[in-house]
Structure 1
């Protein structure tokens, strides 16, 4: 699959996670809405579904996995930052087919596009610390 198709999968997964967290709707409804209102021909659907499912299945465990690397309380994060951290953590822990440098870079790009002014710096710092534990074999 083309890298651009995975990039678009991340963008739509981020939008779905944000909509889910703000609306409180069932994830299957949110996913259906995303899939039916967007052109999915240039989206890696398997990747989209895998990271979306991973990022929404056990939010408490996911948040616990990245919490030590934040440098602030999770409650102080905005919904976009949380969604980006959840997606990146899923990719770092479950998608070993994606190099950690790509995961971090893509998370930074999402933060630049959708986050607050300096959220990309926060995301970069947190993921740079997290990858040392979550992908220690790849970093050695």
Structure 2
């Protein structure tokens, strides 16, 4: 307990083990979804405790948190998102109803991942990226925050990939 009467959580308490990465309907989770989930957790760790991404990746590997994950893509996400935080935040900031700093840190990590994917993973349709961001928010975010993330990522996608929305 801390001085405010709140229980302190260890990072390990916030990390989901690969065996826990099963959806509510007991449907297997794809490797890309597992990679996104691990990446959001690593980005959250970095957000709370900025350090060399190599150390975060090493910790995740040593703790067994990368089972079933595409480690090459995980490392790419972790490095590119952390190197470009300011740029990524600037892409989605115009679509927020509050300051980036006031967005829940987990949801900020999900938005950063979605913007990175929209800009860098052009082979993945924007609708898939938006849906993954929504599902990540349902999984990790506050109740009903997935609706907000859906609206923001949809607007970002229309700006970043207008050709996918021209009909």
TM superposition score normalised by structure 1: 0.91
**SS of residue in 2 equivalent to 1:71:** coil
Instruction: Kindly report the root-mean-square deviation, in angstroms, between the aligned alpha carbons of the 2 structures.
Output: 1.5
2-structure distance, mates of 1:26, 1:98: 28
Larger RCO (alpha carbons 8 Å, 6+ apart): 1
- Structure possessing the higher radius of gyration over alpha carbons: 2
Paired residues, number:
138
Q: Which residue of structure 1 aligns with residue 71 of structure 2?
A: 45
1-structure distance, mates of 2:149, 2:128: 14
Q: Is the 8 A contact 1:66 1:89 kept in 2?
A: yes
Q: Which residue of structure 1 aligns with residue 20 of structure 2?
A: none
Q: 1:56 aligns with which of 59, 82, 86?
A: 82
Q: Deviations over 1:95-138 (max 9, x none)?
A: 11211111111111111111111211110010111111111122
2-structure distance, mates of 1:39, 1:91: 22
Q: Deviations over 1:7-62 (max 9, x none)?
A: 01100000000001111222221121112222534212222122222211121111
1-structure distance, mates of 2:154, 2:72: 26
Q: Which residue of structure 1 aligns with residue 22 of structure 2?
A: none
